[in-house]
Structure 1
Amino acid sequence: MSTHHAERIISLAPHITEMLFAIGAGQQVVAVDKASDYPTQAKDLPKVANYRSLNMEQLLALEPDLVVVWGSAQQQMVQPLAQLGIPIFYSDPATFAKLNEELNQLGALTGHASQAAEVAARYQQQIDELTQAYQDASPVTVFYQIASTPLMSANASTWMGQAINLCGGINIMADSPAPYPQLSPEQVLAHNPQVIMAKSTEELAHWQQWPALRAVENQHLLTIDAQLMHRFTPRTPQGIRQLCSQLDKARSD
């Protein structure tokens, strides 16, 4: 009995595009969303969606036999596709273990099970090594700044929150009821974290106006690679490793 594998796949989020290419299914991807820019081959594919909307006509003309969407963000947007009977896979890797699972699920759907298993195993090995390396690290308090206007952070349930925890950091916004809380500078000042992290030095610059803040006083305004930390893909362990080594700077001072 032959198993049918998807041959015409549309990806609607950058982390999905990256996962499909990583497991060897890149050749089967016929279109992506506007934000998919890695690997470079993805840039040349037709763009049928952005974060909020879908070009239904263009998408249907490509006759996909699988559409992979970001579950928590795009579920409503793709309801009409589901009603037309187009197969949909909802990707929503909320934890480190879930990404491993999804890589294998996508491998099965696309006919790349063995390559997906290899990618998943390599990813898991890196996560396990980092977990081991930092399990006894001395705690460092961290404010993780996702955006500056409005000022936004991440709670413990997010990937960034889980990464901070893995690296032995104590996320000052860990207990926020919102995954990505908006807050005021005063809230950060009240916590007086040892480290403030953001994706660029420009985003960190405005903290300099509070020289008594521990992170400013000790020059622990540190940057991370947002592409590696804000997209949940097999490359994420590189971002976590970078985050851990940035926290090590605060430990060694």
Structure 2
Amino acid sequence: MTINMKPKTAWFYSLFITALLCTAANATAQVTALSPETKPAQRIISLAPHITELLFAIGAGGQVVAIDDASDYPAAAKTLPKVANYRSLNTERILALSPDLIVAWGSAQSQVVQPLVQLGMSVFFSAPATFADLSTELEQLGELTGHQAQAGVVIKEYEQELGELKLQYQDRTPLTVFYQIAEVPLMSANGSTWMSQAVTLCGGVNIMEDSLAPYPQVNAEQVLAQNPDVIVAADNAELRHWQQWPALQAVANRQLLTVDANLMHRFTTRTTQGIRQLCEQMDKVRHAHAS
């Protein structure tokens, strides 16, 4: 099946899948040291959409001098110069902008930025994989940009929202869930990931939670064997292939759910909005079972 996507969406989707495939090898955020005279960073380049969003969230948006092609939130970011796409970086333009900090997606861009590292540029590798990781990274970005106080406020609000969701849904009737990240290749997420944490927070049981790989490539037979109550994906087009198995519980009961990829797959503080949407949809499934 071919999924028709806008160019920016397509490149972000490609980068996202690449990041997932590389996660096992690059799971920890790292930063090359900022020199004393450039700390906190005043000229920052963001190379991925979630990074741009996090920088603006903590109040460092005014220090961002360039972004990647797919960064489109918040609106203020759209006017900034573009210096990267899925395949490459515009090294000449990056050097011309004289950044004192580059923030790259560690899981997908660790190799492509190595020439910049070798030139002595400071690079922070963003790699949040769990709810706790995101809090830690917000704190690190706050320190690097001089926005520790606002980062602290953002972290508190984010963790409070997670706590409220946990209290609201922790006693719900469990539903087995297959969380589909991609259709080709068919990919899911194990229990160590934020997607699986979201399923658990909503009172679900991720059928792939015990997979050895964080983002396993699976086959349809594995899903059919476990016959989940619910299948979740980011697009209705990515769910259509399940219709060829009408006896599958999620298909028979019309329990194929969609989530907003900008909220659930672009891991930022807005992800709590996506989690709430997922929880609400799962609750509708429970109510349908009860009636």
**Fold conserved between structures, TM > 0.5:** yes
1:13 is the counterpart of 2:35: no
Aligned residues: 253
Corresponding residue of 1:53? 88
Q: Secondary structure at the match of 1:240?
A: helix
Q: Secondary structure at the match of 1:108?
A: helix
Report the residue type matching 2:109 in the other structure.
Answer: Q
2:267 maps to which of 229, 232, 242: 232
In 2: Cα distance, 1:111 partner to 1:35 partner:
26
Report the residue type matching 1:212 in the other structure.
Answer: A
Q: Secondary structure at the match of 1:128?
A: helix
Do the aligned partners of residues 204 and 251 (structure 1) sit closer, same or farther apart at CA in structure 2, a change above 3 Å counting?
Answer: same
Q: Deviation of residue 153 (structure 1)?
A: 1.6
Q: Secondary structure at the match of 2:213?
A: coil
Task: Report matched runs for 1:98-113 at 5 Å.
Answer: 98-113=133-148
- TM-score, structure 2 normalization: 0.82
Deviates more, 1:152-161 or 1:225-234: 152-161
1:155 maps to which of 167, 172, 190: 190
In 1: Cα distance, 2:37 partner to 2:43 partner:
18
1:141 is the counterpart of 2:184: no
The runs of 5 or more residues in structure 2 that have no matched partner are 1-35
Q: Deviation of residue 221 (structure 1)?
A: 0.9
Q: Secondary structure at the match of 2:277?
A: helix
Q: Deviation of residue 3 (structure 1)?
A: 8.3
Corresponding residue of 2:102? 67
Q: Deviation of residue 151 (structure 1)?
A: 2.0
Corresponding residue of 1:34? 69
2:237 maps to which of 173, 192, 202: 202
Report the residue type matching 1:200 in the other structure.
Answer: D
- TM-score, structure 1 normalization: 0.94
Q: Secondary structure at the match of 1:102?
A: helix
8 Å CA contact 1:52–1:74 kept in 2: the answer is no
Report the residue type matching 1:244 in the other structure.
Answer: C
Corresponding residue of 1:131? 166
Report the residue type matching 2:205 in the other structure.
Answer: I
Q: Secondary structure at the match of 2:225?
A: helix
The runs of 5 or more residues in structure 1 that have no matched partner are none
Q: Secondary structure at the match of 1:154?
A: coil
In 2: Cα distance, 1:168 partner to 1:64 partner:
44
What fraction of aligned residue pairs are identical, expressed as a percent?
Answer: 68
Deviates more, 1:38-47 or 1:224-233: 38-47
8 Å CA contact 1:194–1:214 kept in 2: the answer is yes
Report the residue type matching 1:106 in the other structure.
Answer: L
Corresponding residue of 2:228? 193
Structure 1 stretches of at least 4 aligned residues deviating more than 6 Å after TM superposition = none
Provide the alpha-carbon RMSD of the alignment. Answer: 1.8
8 Å CA contact 1:137–1:168 kept in 2: the answer is yes
